[in-house]
Structure 1
Amino acid sequence: MAGLGTFGKIVMAAASNPKVRGALQSPKAKQLGGKAVDGAANLAQKAAKGKHQDKIQRARDEALKRLGGRP
């Protein structure tokens, strides 16, 4: 089984591949990333039971901005 360090090296190598970079910038990838961020924010809000909503919303907005999506 590969260690976390090995996994990181594999991810970095894949991220430097132009074909992989292009696929990650596709509209479909951005859409799926946005759905994942929304789902994670909803899960965090449920787990926090109404606390820290402003922090969760800011984190969600920043993640979507970095994905090139909304806000």
Structure 2
Amino acid sequence: MAGFDDISKKAQAFLNDGKVQDALKSEKAEGVSDGILDAVAKAADKATGGKHSDKIEQAKQQADKKIGNQ
């Protein structure tokens, strides 16, 4: 388990790095995350026959607030 703990600590340090945080909040990351969220929302809407469009849109908006920079 010592190896796993070491990898976990390195991953945590990497994610806490300012450059990594800046990249995750960049315009490019925002565009990618928006595209993914749109695709997932469309697939969910199609799968439910449009019966839950409002709830799907609300969930997409909430997720978008947590991801990217907008």
TM-score (norm 1): 0.69
- 2:63 matched to 1:63? yes
Unmatched segments (≥5 aa) in structure 2 = none
What per-residue deviation string (whole Å, max 9, x for no partner) do you get for residues 4-55 of structure 1? Answer: xx8xx47644321222111101111111111111111001101111221111
Return the alpha-carbon distance in structure 1 between the equivalents of residues 26 and 12 of structure 2: 19
User: Which residue matches 1:54?
Assistant: 54
Unmatched segments (≥5 aa) in structure 1 = 1-5
- 2:29 matched to 1:29? yes
User: Which residue matches 2:42?
Assistant: 42
CA RMSD of aligned residues (A): 2.3
Q: Report how many residues are paired.
A: 63
Quick check: 32-41 or 13-22, which moved more? Answer: 13-22
Match of 1:49, as an amino acid?
Answer: G
Match of 2:45, as an amino acid?
Answer: Q
Q: Secondary structure at the match of 2:51?
A: coil
TM-score (norm 2): 0.69
